[in-house]
Amino acid sequence: MKELDLENGKISKLIKKFAIPCVISMIVAALYNIVDQIFIGWSDAGSFGNAATNIVYPFTVIALAFALLIGDGSAALFNLSLGAKNKEKTSKSIGNGLILLVIVSIILTILGLVFNKQILNIFGGNPKEVQCYQYAKDYLRIICYGLPFYIIGQGLNASIRSDGSPKYAMMATVVGAVSNIILDPIFIFVFKMSVKGAAMATIIGQILTFIISILYFRKAKSFKINKESIKLNREICKQLMSLGLASLITQLAIVIIIAVTNNLIGKYGYMTISSSGVAYGVVTPLAVIGICMKVFGIVISIVIGVSLGGMPIIGYNRGAGNIRRVKETVRYILIINLLIGLFAFGLFELFPTLIINIFGSGNSFEYLEYAKYCLRIFLSGIMLTCIVKSLSILLQSMGSSFKSTLLALARDVIFFVPAIVIIASLSHSVITMLWSALIADVLSFITGIILLKKEFSKSEKVSEEDEIEGQGQNSDKLLLKNKVIITISREYGSGGHFVGKLLAEKLGIKFYDKEIINLTAKEYGYSRKYILDNEEKNFKTSMFYNNDDKLFASESKVIEALAKKDSCVIVGRCADYILRNNKYLVRIFLYSDVDSKIKRAVKYYGLNEKNALKEINKVNKQRAKYYNYFTNGVWNSYENYDMVINVDKLGVEETAEIIKNIVITEDRKGRR
């Protein structure tokens, strides 16, 4: 990407290049549904039609959720792989994503057509409201036929952006949306197709977006789609879906919000009396809530567009280990999104009637009154929501899927759903329950700031000590007649690193611990930060974390090369297993008593005494998992080693001396 230097280019210019087309794409994508609602509101279907589209809307969001799960996940993995200079993985991330999009789209289409009545009932449809329910059935059935084109088109959009072609991605979406805008009035008013016409216009636009997106594969810059790249790889699929999980959760959370809100309206709508003394009923609140959700969606689309525009910059520099540049990009994006939120807040508070009248004229007093409550109360925390939604995407692009997913869940599920259920149950009012959104916004904003600070704190904690410790220590002492390779496995806090270093000095041979990180980074193009995040101390196995087999293979080659060169001491990284067939190998395991480990961890590693044991046990557990994952063996099983020593019995200095004497004795006897 010569024209887009992600590593050195000015961040404001890069964000502008990526974000503007991305924002336009997101707004245009949101217009698919909102334009339908505007034209339907002005048609004979009126509020009944708007209520019907609100009932169907959650199902289309589910489709988008799976499109973004795979699409954003593929894009994030693509950027991380690009930053780590892993060309093979860049193509596989896009190819595997494409196949997954096809599979998911077919499954959702079948489910939508077969279980359409059940879907409508789940999302607040009431067969007793005959006219509204029939409109919803008609709309859903037609929309289902366009789902494969919609899912694949939306899913590929993120990959096209990440490949350095944000304008092309924008064009693909804009063409479809403009088509929808042009065809909506033709089908609805000219052909008198009402709600069915809106659905037809929508799927034609989705087909156009799909075609343009697929054609991009002929001109892709940094990836190739071929038989090898589309062959499903379990590890690739796991990684991209874990990275896209936050996008899935974000969208599914919207589904949960709408489903819960719609059902509460159905329960309490007739129990809530307007200021004119008339009950709001069900259709009016359903239609208004649907409009508010769509307006809310427009604002959030802009925010997500800005955030996604920063994803290639953050992902690339995160993969390359440039945390300073990542922080600068995040700060810039958050300021922009805060300003967007403040502007939207002003519109909703000052001009609610103007906004609601865009979606139809001749509205009743109750309709307009509830609309004012909805826009002013339900969306009163919009500026906080903008920050929360932005943070979720930014954490995702930094590779922190767990924090991103947690934040996405916090606002819409963990805080909002319980709040609206409790408030509605206590007040029996479809007005009072609207305050639940502000409560959720405040709590999730606080959560988001905490998670972001923790993510940056984690990155900055990476020790810069031993950046280059040299290639070991040489001595004038010539104590060994033969070659010897000593591997040291150790419990965290046992002093294994210091024992190994002293031993190497005493024997006059080379010592390798963190030097292996530097050598692997230099030889195979990884960033030092990336290696540290994926090595044994930080090793994790869950759906939120990805185990890099390629990194282990790269480190293994470095270790094998070091062992071939000369005598040396190697600490950790399964070296005892990697070199198991080396005839010069001596395998050592060091452990320590609990109290000694705590004292050493507090003194040398800077741990808090209260939390030291917890951290020690955590690291040792991760080391055991790391060893088991790559060797299928048991890390602390004594039968794997030639010597097992409790460092506390002798101390670090004496332990190194004892091992030295044993090695020298065996060397002189020629027993290795």
Same domain (yes/no): 54, 173 = yes
Q: Which helix (H) or strand (E) holds 478?
A: none
The dihedrals phi and psi of 109, each to the nearest 5 degrees, come to -60, -45
> How many Å apart are CA 86 and CA 571, to the nearest integer?
27
Same domain (yes/no): 141, 282 = yes
Cα–Cα distance list, 235 to 224, 231, 255, 565, 630 (Å): 19, 12, 29, 34, 14
* 326 within a domain of the structure (yes/no): yes
Burial class (CB in 10 A: 0-12, 13-18, 19+), 479: middle
Which tops the pLDDT comparison, 492 or 253? 492
What pairing do the DSSP bridges indicate for beta strands 643-646 and 585-591? parallel
State the first-to-last Cα distance of the chain, in angstroms, to the nearest integer.
Answer: 53
What single string gives the DSSP state of each residue in 411-465?
IIIIIHHHHHHHHHHHH--TTGGGGHHHHHHHHHHHHHHHHHHHHHHHHHTS--T
Same domain (yes/no): 389, 521 = no
User: pLDDT band at residue 129, thresholds of 50, 70 and 90?
Assistant: confident
Residues 6+ apart with CB under 8 A from 446: none
> How many Å apart are CA 457 and CA 355, to the nearest integer?
43
- Considering only 266-270, 435-439, 456-460, which range has the smallest mean pLDDT? 456-460
Same domain (yes/no): 276, 424 = yes
pLDDT, residue 465, reads: 40
pLDDT digits (tens, 9 = 90+) for 346-361: 999 999 999 988 887 6
Full 3-state SS string of 560-614: HHHHHHCCEEEECCCHHHHCCCCCCEEEEEEECCHHHHHHHHHHHCCCCHHHHHH
What are the respective helix, strand and coil percentages of the chain, to the nearest 5?
Answer: 75, 5, 20
Same domain (yes/no): 28, 117 = yes
User: pLDDT band at residue 107, thresholds of 50, 70 and 90?
Assistant: very high
* 464 within a domain of the structure (yes/no): no
> How many Å apart are CA 158 and CA 22, to the nearest integer?
9
What single string gives the DSSP state of each residue in 120-148?
HHHTT--TTSHHHHHHHHHHHHHHHHTHH
> How many Å apart are CA 412 and CA 345, to the nearest integer?
19
Q: Locate all alpha helices (DSSP H) within 320-414, ordered by sequence.
A: 323-350, 352-357, 365-373, 382-397, 401-409
> How many Å apart are CA 57 and CA 50, to the nearest integer?
10
What single string gives the DSSP state of each residue in 606-649?
---HHHHHHHHHHHHHHHHHHHHHHHSS-TT-GGG-SEEEEHHH
Domain range for 639: 485-669
Share of the chain above pLDDT 90, in %: 41
Residue 471 has pLDDT above 50, yes or no: no
Tokens representing 227 are 């038989």
Residues 6+ apart with CB under 8 A from 617: none
Which tops the pLDDT comparison, 419 or 12? 419
* 5 within a domain of the structure (yes/no): no
Average pLDDT for the chain: 85
- Considering only 239-253, 398-412, 474-488, 495-509, which range has the smallest mean pLDDT? 474-488
Query: What average pLDDT does this structure show over 567-575?
Result: 93
Tokens representing 122 are 């789940």
Same domain (yes/no): 305, 346 = yes
User: pLDDT band at residue 470, thresholds of 50, 70 and 90?
Assistant: very low
pLDDT, residue 671, reads: 52
Same domain (yes/no): 193, 231 = yes
- Considering only 225-229, 332-336, 476-480, 578-582, which range has the smallest mean pLDDT? 476-480
User: pLDDT band at residue 448, thresholds of 50, 70 and 90?
Assistant: very high
Which residue, 304, 287, 285, is CA-closest to 18? 304
pLDDT, residue 251, reads: 81
Residue 443 has pLDDT above 50, yes or no: yes
pLDDT, residue 539, reads: 64
Amino acid at 354: L
Same domain (yes/no): 204, 81 = yes
pLDDT, residue 141, reads: 95
User: pLDDT band at residue 424, thresholds of 50, 70 and 90?
Assistant: very high
pLDDT, residue 33, reads: 63
Residue entry with tokens 């030291």: 612
User: pLDDT band at residue 543, thresholds of 50, 70 and 90?
Assistant: very low
Which residue, 283, 38, 56, is CA-closest to 147? 56
> How many Å apart are CA 215 and CA 165, to the nearest integer?
13
CATH number of the domain encompassing residue 650? 3.40.50.300
pLDDT digits (tens, 9 = 90+) for 174-218: 899 889 989 999 999 999 999 999 999 999 999 999 999 999 998
pLDDT digits (tens, 9 = 90+) for 46-75: 888 888 888 898 999 899 999 999 998 898
* 353 within a domain of the structure (yes/no): yes
- Boundary of a domain, candidates 442, 457, 472: 457
Same domain (yes/no): 370, 243 = yes
- Boundary of a domain, candidates 417, 437, 457: 457
User: pLDDT band at residue 525, thresholds of 50, 70 and 90?
Assistant: low
Query: What average pLDDT does this structure show over 407-432?
Result: 92
Query: What average pLDDT does this structure show over 448-463?
Result: 73
* 6 within a domain of the structure (yes/no): no
What pairing do the DSSP bridges indicate for beta strands 568-571 and 510-512? parallel
User: pLDDT band at residue 464, thresholds of 50, 70 and 90?
Assistant: very low
Cα–Cα distance list, 367 to 221, 281, 282, 285, 654 (Å): 52, 10, 11, 8, 84
Same domain (yes/no): 293, 358 = yes
- Boundary of a domain, candidates 457, 473, 496: 457
Q: How many C-beta atoms lie closer than 10 Å to residue 184's C-beta?
A: 22
Residues 6+ apart with CB under 8 A from 598: 493, 609, 612, 613, 616
Query: What average pLDDT does this structure show over 290-294?
Result: 85
pLDDT, residue 350, reads: 95
Same domain (yes/no): 654, 551 = yes
* 470 within a domain of the structure (yes/no): no
Residue entry with tokens 């494409």: 98
Report yes or no: 526 and 550 within 8 Å, Cβ to Cβ: no
Query: What average pLDDT does this structure show over 147-171?
Result: 90
Rg (CA), the chain: 30
The dihedrals phi and psi of 587, each to the nearest 5 degrees, come to -105, 125
Amino acid at 60: T
Number of domains in the chain: 2
User: pLDDT band at residue 29, thresholds of 50, 70 and 90?
Assistant: low
| Total count of residues recorded for the chain | 672
pLDDT, residue 313, reads: 83
Same domain (yes/no): 225, 174 = yes
Query: What average pLDDT does this structure show over 3-7?
Result: 64
pLDDT, residue 531, reads: 79
- Considering only 439-448, 457-466, 623-632, which range has the smallest mean pLDDT? 457-466
Which residue, 665, 8, 654, is CA-closest to 313? 8
What pairing do the DSSP bridges indicate for beta strands 568-571 and 585-591? unpaired
User: pLDDT band at residue 469, thresholds of 50, 70 and 90?
Assistant: very low
* 176 within a domain of the structure (yes/no): yes
Tokens representing 619 are 């690291």
Residue entry with tokens 């990407």: 1
Query: What average pLDDT does this structure show over 534-540?
Result: 66
* 47 within a domain of the structure (yes/no): yes
Q: How many C-beta atoms lie closer than 10 Å to residue 338's C-beta?
A: 16
Residue 370 has pLDDT above 80, yes or no: yes
